[in-house]
């Protein structure tokens, strides 16, 4: 796995919108936020564009992202937001120059498409973490922001989580992979699908029906993914909804049911996903996952 170079204060952070459109005020606020932290900001030419639900037409979003990949003046690429649309442009991007001069790419949700390209096709690490859309109303000393920029500067965090009734104890080491479960599910059977063998899998999601979640977990189980991983980190599953006829389990119950026959460690309620405090994770990095009766521990 290739790891981009770490940065110094004063580095230039590029903001680009490869998926959903974003409000101009949110981008301007994120610029001010990053300036407070001591960084320069470069905006994608089309970051304020709008085409239906997207931040501009496919070719415009692809052109912006390509420029950020190729620019020698940009040290970090931050995706402005998720939403939907990254899969419409991913195959139009040329990563050849980027691979010669790699830089950290940061994002989550729909940006799981990019993480999947980086880890599963290119062997490149990246950061699942807060995006400019999330900076509005945040303070520069909030723990996820501190941890994000510590990672970018080479200071890797350790995470401890409280005990959860569904946690499964144990210890495992492996490469951390994953992201938004709906996106991972949509990439199954494509060249961006992941190799599960020996991996620590992280999952999170938002706004799904409970039976949709069960369908996705059954895909991972029936295809052998859940049998082959070494550990599971279950992030936040927010705004999940039931059907008129209740499913009978909540989101964590569905996940617990899908993995109950395996004996690897599982952390539930990890503080990452579509929540105010979204702790950053390094995908592609080998991690230690340890769970006991007191809670969970994840270190890089």
**pTM, two decimal places:** 0.97
- Contact at 8 Å (CB) between 129 and 281? yes
CATH number at residue 250: 3.50.30.60
Closest C-alpha among 161, 153, 137, 298 to residue 231: 298
- Whether residues 95 and 192 fall in one domain: no
Closest C-alpha among 127, 160, 181 to residue 294: 160
**Per the structure block, which two tokens stand in for 270?**
């990890």
Q: Produce one character per residue of 75-101: b if its CB has 16 or more CB atoms within 10 Å, e if not.
A: bbbbbbbbbebbbbbbeebebeebeee
207 in a structural domain: yes
Per-residue pLDDT of the chain (300 residues; tens, 9 = 90+): 999 999 998 999 999 999 999 999 999 999 999 999 999 999 999 999 999 999 999 999 999 999 999 999 999 999 999 999 999 999 999 999 999 999 999 999 999 999 999 999 999 999 999 999 999 889 999 999 999 999 999 999 999 999 999 999 999 999 999 999 999 999 999 999 999 999 999 999 999 999 999 999 999 999 999 999 999 999 999 999 999 999 999 999 999 999 999 999 999 999 999 999 999 999 999 999 999 999 999 999
- Whether residues 67 and 115 fall in one domain: yes
How many domains are there within the chain?
A: 2
- Whether residues 128 and 204 fall in one domain: no
- Whether residues 166 and 283 fall in one domain: yes
Mark which of 119, 152, 185 sits at the end of a domain. 152
- Whether residues 113 and 162 fall in one domain: no
213 in a structural domain: yes
Per-residue model confidence as pLDDT tens digits over 271-284: 999 999 999 999 99
2 in a structural domain: no
Strand order in the sheet with 281-283: 40-43, 12-16, 76-79, 104-107, 126-128, 281-283
- Whether residues 144 and 167 fall in one domain: no
- Whether residues 197 and 134 fall in one domain: no
- Whether residues 91 and 166 fall in one domain: no
- Whether residues 189 and 78 fall in one domain: no
Number of Cβ atoms within 10 Å of the Cβ of 299: 13
DSSP H helical ranges for the chain: 24-36, 58-70, 96-100, 112-117, 132-135, 143-152, 181-186, 210-222, 225-228, 251-259
**Per the structure block, which two tokens stand in for 106?**
């940061």
- Whether residues 214 and 295 fall in one domain: yes
Mark which of 123, 152, 181 sits at the end of a domain. 152
- Contact at 8 Å (CB) between 73 and 53? no
7 in a structural domain: no
Number of Cβ atoms within 10 Å of the Cβ of 201: 27
98 in a structural domain: yes
Query: What is the rounded distance in angstroms from the CA atom of residue 150 to the CA atom of residue 161?
Result: 19
92 in a structural domain: yes
CATH number at residue 54: 3.40.50.10740
Q: Which residues are paired to 296 by β-bridges?
A: 161, 291
- Whether residues 133 and 265 fall in one domain: no
Query: What is the rounded distance in angstroms from the CA atom of residue 106 to the CA atom of residue 277?
Result: 15
Q: Which residues are paired to 241 by β-bridges?
A: 209
Range of the domain at 295: 158-299
Per-residue model confidence as pLDDT tens digits over 209-261: 999 999 999 999 999 999 999 999 999 999 999 999 999 999 999 999 999 99
- Contact at 8 Å (CB) between 117 and 55? no
- Whether residues 179 and 265 fall in one domain: yes
Mark which of 152, 179, 213 sits at the end of a domain. 152
> 2: which residues sit within 8 A by CB, 6+ positions away?
99, 102, 122, 123, 124, 125
109 in a structural domain: yes
Pairing of the two strands 126-128 and 158-162: unpaired
């Amino acid at each position: 796995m290739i790891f981009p170079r770490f940065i110094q204060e004063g580095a230039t952070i590029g903001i680009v919108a490869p998926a959903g459109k974003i409000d101009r005020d949110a981008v301007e606020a994120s610029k001010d936020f990053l300036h407070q932290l001591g960084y320069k900001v470069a905006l994608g030419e089309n970051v304020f564009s709008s085409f239906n639900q997207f931040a501009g037409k496919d070719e415009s979003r692809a052109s912006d992202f390509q420029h950020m990949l190729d620019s020698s003046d940009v040290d970090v690429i931050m995706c402005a937001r998720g939403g939907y649309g990254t899969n419409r442009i991913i195959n139009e991007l040329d990563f050849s120059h980027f691979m010669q001069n790699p830089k950290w790419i940061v994002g989550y949700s729909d940006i799981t498409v990019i993480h999947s390209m980086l880890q599963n096709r290119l062997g490149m690490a990246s950061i699942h973490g807060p995006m400019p859309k999330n900076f509005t109303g945040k303070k520069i000393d909030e723990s996820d922001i501190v941890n994000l920029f510590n990672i970018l500067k080479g200071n890797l965090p350790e995470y401890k989580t409280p005990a959860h009734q569904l946690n499964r104890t144990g210890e495992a080491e492996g490469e951390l992979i994953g992201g938004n479960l709906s996106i991972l599910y949509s990439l199954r059977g494509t060249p961006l699908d992941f190799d599960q063998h020996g991996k620590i899998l992280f999952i999170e999601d938002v706004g799904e029906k409970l039976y949709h979640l069960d369908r996705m977990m059954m895909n991972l189980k029936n295809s052998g993914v859940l049998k082959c991983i070494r550990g599971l980190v279950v992030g936040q599953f927010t705004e999940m909804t039931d059907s008129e006829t209740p499913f009978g389990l909540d989101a964590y119950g569905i996940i617990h049911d899908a993995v109950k026959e395996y004996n690897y460690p599982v952390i539930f309620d990890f503080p990452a996903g579509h929540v105010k405090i979204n702790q950053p994770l390094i995908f592609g990095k080998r991690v230690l996952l340890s769970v006991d009766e007191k809670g969970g521990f994840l270190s890089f």
